[in-house]
A and B are shown apart, each in its own frame.
Chain A
């Protein structure tokens, strides 16, 4: 049976939203549905409707990609389309950047909660847009459009379409505004605004876009693509409603969500083990003293992201971020909407890939986002422009914790070491055509993945936020930026070592072309620490930390003289090919941006991360190492040092491999101590507070935010109850 709210005769949307929340709280079931009546009565009709709705949103997204001229959407697929209930709960979603399905849900609910029904009104043909993360999105470039679906005057749902914009007009160019430190530097905000009526975008909205963006064509054309997708879905859904009847449609879509909720719970029980899982990762942000940094951002941050996952006997999944650090004056803060989105897209990949993918899965989960931390700043002026920087590593931890459960149950084919950050280049300045430009170079959407429990990770073809990862064609990117490729290559040794290797990342090398000023920043770029991990004896991947550029590289002259040219950073980890094969001075710098603009004739190289490894590297098949060396995924010297496999030419030297592996085991014995002994030694170091200032500050901050963290820290190192770290002096 279905419960209805008895307190109102003609409920507003706001009433219905409140009643829905109350009914869920009281019954534990979506819309109070305790039996899936339509599914039981006629499963074929029920499933047919779901398949058709899913097909509609998938096709609409594909159509929108053909309309958009933005390479982010057309080449890389940075878009998603989804269908929602009147209360804003997702029913069906397309492939693509599924992270935004639940963020769009928050956007719709926000409009309802703020009485948009009264003002500005919700009518057939209206178009609403939002890119405010505190209302409902992840970051400013994720611009969501929604349109209502009315049937004979009654609102029966919403369609949302999302595109990731490549330029948002912030303090630094691009979409993920790497140097934003407060909301006021993040670029153009559209805050749950009615931007169109009668199925048309308002002219004054388009004028605002044209006058406030460095490269308005991307956002404007993506708007047209999104509106086309929304209208296509709306009209096709209305045709379907005419076929099945509006009452059937309304009831069936509620049952889809309740079925999705039950599916999530049963999938947890099927694939994992109840209990407590823990993991952590870290992220370094280095800007102290760097040229160009704004005063509030003139410091270094080291972020701890400890996570605990609880799986209850019922199968409910709860994730707790207790112990993580404060928000800061940088662009990496996140909102609860973004945190929801990260969990949602991870669940769609691991738990809900073959059933009812909708908001039901989200209803079967719980997040604890401690107030005042980067996960939940509770201060709507903070910047969230590069929230992926911390969000992606966090949900990589989530993937490893889930995988521990899969491993325990024997579903080794599902064990996955997880996603990694893939630092994106944001650039702008003078284009090769003479005007101003700005773009996010989205070739980053093809990092290496973590290893699986049964095989190596994917090389240059996975990112967590978009399971349809694609780096795009070089020739297309060259049309949109004043740089031409000298090479795009797999980065050797970029995957974490293990019995199964993490997938490798890749690197690009460009020659700046016909521009007097090219500003480059990289978002999601950890410094000094790896922001991923290995699993079951596998090593983390080596996070990309450094920028390489060469001023006045003399490439045309070297080419004319038939001198060797650089095409990548090269396989020598101590000296890059830029330094070896270019004229001029090569600069290597850390931090999320280049402090000096580039110009015509300069070189710039950038790398994307690989994934973590799985299992003891000494168990790696020597033949696999030989293939890796032959194909450039690892170098022979590092392979020998870590896996013990000795390659001569293209063949495994079996005798030398046996000897090298025995030597590594001996080295393990000679260089290791019992953990209890190490704890005693380290405890003295902690008492002396003999730590880098950023490390000590990270602990001080975590201990001040979390009593549990503080208690566990003191207990682990056997410290007195009043032990604490002093705050760093204010600058």
Chain B
């Protein structure tokens, strides 16, 4: 049965696993222990004690908090209940004029600001850019992912939710 240790998974997360090993990982049978090893590596890397239940993005995790499951950034900032869209608790920079759009997409690469704006969702704690939405003005903010944590742990992993 294929399995990888925490060093290999840590390198994978960092993008530093050598390409031959990465290719082997992509082409081979998937390892059944990946999730546990992944959580172990991620938990070692954060400075806070709450248990990570499920990663949902770069830097973002659903954790077991004192008052229930919340979304937390690895800087420690908390976004509240995971059943609510974390983006609504973020900071946002909106590029909705040609000048600010052209800082990223100069000249012929720009979109038309009256048809599409760029929304940069930032962590209020560390100002990391967590997600970018490209949408017409007025399009409601997307709630990317609402996991069924009970079904995942109980039915798929075969153990109770921590």
What is the interface of chain B mostly: helix, strand, loop, or mixed?
A: mixed
Contacts of B127 in A (CB 8 A): 665, 668-669, 672
* CB pair B129 A668 closer than 8 Å: yes
Distance, CA A408 to CA B156, complexed state (A)? 14
Surface stretch bound by A, among B43-51, B64-72, B145-153: B145-153
Contacts of A576 in B (CB 8 A): 108
Say yes or no for A407: interface residue by CB 8 A criterion.
yes
Interface centre among B15, B118, B131, B151, by most A CB within 10 Å?
B15
Distance, CA A695 to CA B15, complexed state (A)? 39
How far is the CB of B104 from the nearest CB of chain A, in Å? 6
Contacts of B106 in A (CB 8 A): 493, 573-574, 638
Within 8 A of A (CB), among B68-119: 87-94, 103-112, 114-116, 118
* CB pair B139 A280 closer than 8 Å: yes
How far is the CB of B1 from the nearest CB of chain A, in Å? 13
Say yes or no for A698: interface residue by CB 8 A criterion.
yes
* CB pair A274 B115 closer than 8 Å: no
* CB pair B91 A673 closer than 8 Å: yes
Interface size class of B (residues with CB under 8 A): 35 or more
Say yes or no for A277: interface residue by CB 8 A criterion.
yes
Say yes or no for A534: interface residue by CB 8 A criterion.
yes
Contacts of A545 in B (CB 8 A): 108, 111
Write out, one digit per residue, whether chain B residues 29-68 have a CB within 8 A of any chain A CB (1) or not (0): 1101011011100000000000000111110000000000
Distance, CA A675 to CA B93, complexed state (A)? 9
Distance, CA A475 to CA B155, complexed state (A)? 57
Distance, CA A304 to CA B109, complexed state (A)? 21
Known: A270-B30, A275-B147. A413 touches B22 (CB 8 A): yes
* CB pair A404 B145 closer than 8 Å: yes
* CB pair B129 A274 closer than 8 Å: no
Say yes or no for A554: interface residue by CB 8 A criterion.
no
CB nearest to A614 among chain B residues: B58
Tell me which of A278, A536, A682, A685 contacts B130 (CB under 8 A): A536
Tell me which of A282, A672, A676 contacts B135 (CB under 8 A): A282
CB nearest to A492 among chain B residues: B109
Known: A273-B152, A699-B138. A673 touches B92 (CB 8 A): yes
* CB pair B132 A716 closer than 8 Å: no
CB nearest to B24 among chain A residues: A413
How far is the CB of B91 from the nearest CB of chain A, in Å? 4
Inter-chain residue pair count (beta carbon < 8 A): 230
Tell me which of B115, B140, B144 contacts A694 (CB under 8 A): B115
Distance, CA A642 to CA B118, complexed state (A)? 14
Contacts of A546 in B (CB 8 A): 108
Distance, CA A618 to CA B59, complexed state (A)? 14
Contacts of B56 in A (CB 8 A): 404, 407-408
Surface stretch bound by B, among A91-99, A525-533, A555-563: A525-533
Write out, one digit per residue, whether chain A residues 581-621 have a CB within 8 A of any chain B CB (1) or not (0): 00000001000000000000000000000000001111000
Tell me which of B29, B34, B58 contacts A411 (CB under 8 A): B34
* CB pair B143 A716 closer than 8 Å: no
Say yes or no for B160: interface residue by CB 8 A criterion.
no
* CB pair B92 A454 closer than 8 Å: no
How far is the CB of B82 from the nearest CB of chain A, in Å? 10
Known: A408-B147, A533-B134, A641-B104. A675 touches B128 (CB 8 A): no
How far is the CB of B39 from the nearest CB of chain A, in Å? 8
Known: A284-B115, A573-B107, A573-B109. A273 touches B147 (CB 8 A): yes
Distance, CA A354 to CA B30, complexed state (A)? 11
CB nearest to B88 among chain A residues: A675
How far is the CB of A243 from the nearest CB of chain B, in Å? 30
* CB pair A404 B30 closer than 8 Å: no
How far is the CB of A635 from the nearest CB of chain B, in Å? 9
Distance, CA A665 to CA B55, complexed state (A)? 24
* CB pair A617 B35 closer than 8 Å: no
Distance, CA A678 to CA B12, complexed state (A)? 37
Say yes or no for A47: interface residue by CB 8 A criterion.
no
* CB pair B137 A409 closer than 8 Å: no
Contacts of A694 in B (CB 8 A): 115
Contacts of A302 in B (CB 8 A): 115, 136
Tell me which of A304, A573, A588 contacts B139 (CB under 8 A): A304
* CB pair B104 A529 closer than 8 Å: no
Say yes or no for B161: interface residue by CB 8 A criterion.
no
* CB pair B146 A276 closer than 8 Å: yes
How far is the CB of A268 from the nearest CB of chain B, in Å? 10
Can you list 8 residue pairs at the A/B interface with Cβ under 8 Å? A270-B32, A273-B147, A274-B151, A274-B155, A278-B142, A407-B56, A669-B127, A679-B88
Chain B: residues with CB nearer than 8 A to chain A? 9, 12-13, 15, 17, 22, 25-27, 29-30, 32, 34-35, 37-39, 54-58, 87-94, 103-112, 114-116, 118, 120-122, 124, 127-149, 151-152, 155-156
| Given A407-B56, A642-B103, A669-B127, 16 extra CB contacts under 8 A | A274-B148, A275-B145, A277-B144, A282-B134, A282-B136, A313-B148, A408-B54, A410-B38, A414-B26, A497-B104, A528-B112, A539-B132, A574-B108, A576-B108, A672-B91, A695-B114
